[in-house]
Structure 1
Amino acid sequence: MRVFVAILPPPEVVDQLDIFLAPRRDALADRGQWRWTRSEHLHITLAFIPDLDGWREEALIEAGEEWAARQSPLGLRLKGAGAFPDPGSARVLWAGIEEKAEGSADADPSVDEGSASVLPGWAKGLRAVANHAGARVDGTRFHPHLTLARSVGRPGPAGHLLQSLDTLVSPAWQVQDLVLMASHLGEGPRRTPRYEVRHRWVLGAPPVG
């Protein structure tokens, strides 16, 4: 089973992002250069497990609950944009992720000077959790982002488009939980993946059982 652990942005953030992207998608529609991420597929991947044995899923869920119980909610917002591997030969367009200062989602948007970023620690911890449960985890270097679009065919220059996308600033939200999501390749519309939430871990909640 192909699965990943992710943060799902709330509906109000997805709605605003859709409004922001609509004119940019429309302007490029006749070129067919980019395949834009469907709204229900928007997420921030923390750990990717390309092939999870079904019998290991329960162990992964239990270990994840223990890990999540030690974490606290985190304020995030989408801000800015970029491309992988680089703007001159882009395969992926992404929205940047900004961590919020401790407090409510309406607090000062800047991260406290000198404070450590939380998301890389979460990614490292969740990969360790998955390894402990016997799952083989993708070891690609973690770069917090939300995928907006993928190139169709060969990669190409995206500098002009990124200048437009870089004005993105979403409402802030508090991450209260993480999901274990299964990706069923080719089972969605136009042979896109179909996503299935397998489990939801609530941050700071005592483990079940």
Structure 2
Amino acid sequence: MTQSTTSEQPRLFVAVPIPSELKTKAGEAVNGLKRQLPFKKWVHPDDLHITLKFIGEVALVSLPAIETKLERIAARCNPFPLQLLGAGTFGAPQAPRVLWAGLGGSQLALKSLQADVERELAELGYEPENRPYSPHVTLARQYSGTEPARKDALGGLFRPDGDSPHEWTADRIVLYRSHFGQTPMYEPIRTIVFHAGG
């Protein structure tokens, strides 16, 4: 563990991080949507990520075992390309609960990584997710508008033919801790770079 924690049971999840410069671009891209699509909670750009596994509250004594599992996963992984691509919503079309950015690039590698995380952490007693994995980047939650959500407002978000494609190479996984009531809310407590073959 790279940083001390004060809570006896920090709330943790595992994710693929998004590079800082791309977080800034994504934050700028969604700023124009805030008046067109009123959501109660917009994700701070520093908190943007791709969730692989939500773990939940964990005793501090369990952290070394989790980190060992993540090291094993990273030792089997090679970097792969990803891209923010398009946008959409989850929930009722007129009042969605989540606004998300879609992903392009190597979906196969991303889904294989997520399955590996599920398998390894299941060995520690963390139950696998029973729903199919749907990789995305959450941008906002809880639509609060009085009019139906405008899907047309998403048409130009993260377009593949834009002047500044939102691409990067995924080369690490991060164990994050949630701090409710803070902005940004997610603290990286361990970052592990992929190192297959070396």
Q: TM-score range by the shorter chain?
A: 0.7 to 0.9
Query: Which residue in the other structure is 2:25 paired with?
Result: 16
Determine if the alignment matches structure 1 residue 123 to structure 2 residue 114: yes
Query: Which residue in the other structure is 2:161 paired with?
Result: none
2-structure distance, mates of 1:157, 1:166: 16
1-structure distance, mates of 2:83, 2:116: 22
Query: Which residue in the other structure is 2:162 paired with?
Result: none
Unaligned runs of 5+ in 1: 101-115
2-structure distance, mates of 1:195, 1:53: 18
Amino acid at match of 1:122: L
TM-score of the superposition, structure 2-length normalised?
Answer: 0.81
2-structure distance, mates of 1:63, 1:206: 17
Question: Is contact 2:95-2:143 (8 Å) kept?
Answer: no
More helix by share: 1
SS of residue matched to 1:24: coil
Q: CA deviation at 1:175?
A: 0.8
Match for residue 2 of structure 1 among 5, 11, 15? 11
Equivalent pairs counted in the alignment come to 183
Q: CA deviation at 1:197?
A: 1.2
Q: What are the within-5 Å matches in structure 2 for residues 13-92 of structure 1?
A: 13-25=22-34, 27-28=35-36, 33-92=39-98
How has the CA–CA distance of structure 1 residues 151 and 99 changed in structure 2, closer, same or farther, with 3 Å as cutoff?
Answer: same
Query: Which residue in the other structure is 2:141 paired with?
Result: 150
Question: Is contact 1:91-1:150 (8 Å) kept?
Answer: yes
Q: Deviations over 1:115-162 (max 9, x none)?
A: x7222221111011111133345544321100011115699842x2x3
Q: What RMSD, in angstroms, separates the aligned Cα atoms of the two structures? A: 2.5
1-structure distance, mates of 2:148, 2:55: 30
Question: Is contact 1:74-1:175 (8 Å) kept?
Answer: yes
More strand by share: 2
Query: Which residue in the other structure is 1:180 paired with?
Result: 175
Q: Deviations over 1:56-114 (max 9, x none)?
A: 110111111011111110111101111112423310000001115xxxxxxxxxxxxxx
Q: Which shifted more, 163-172 or 133-142?
A: 133-142
Amino acid at match of 2:48: L
Unaligned runs of 5+ in 2: 1-9, 159-164
Question: Is contact 1:50-1:138 (8 Å) kept?
Answer: no
Question: Is contact 1:48-1:137 (8 Å) kept?
Answer: no
TM-score of the superposition, structure 1-length normalised?
Answer: 0.77
Determine if the alignment matches structure 1 residue 194 to structure 2 residue 185: yes
Amino acid at match of 2:62: R
| Identity of matched residues, % | 31
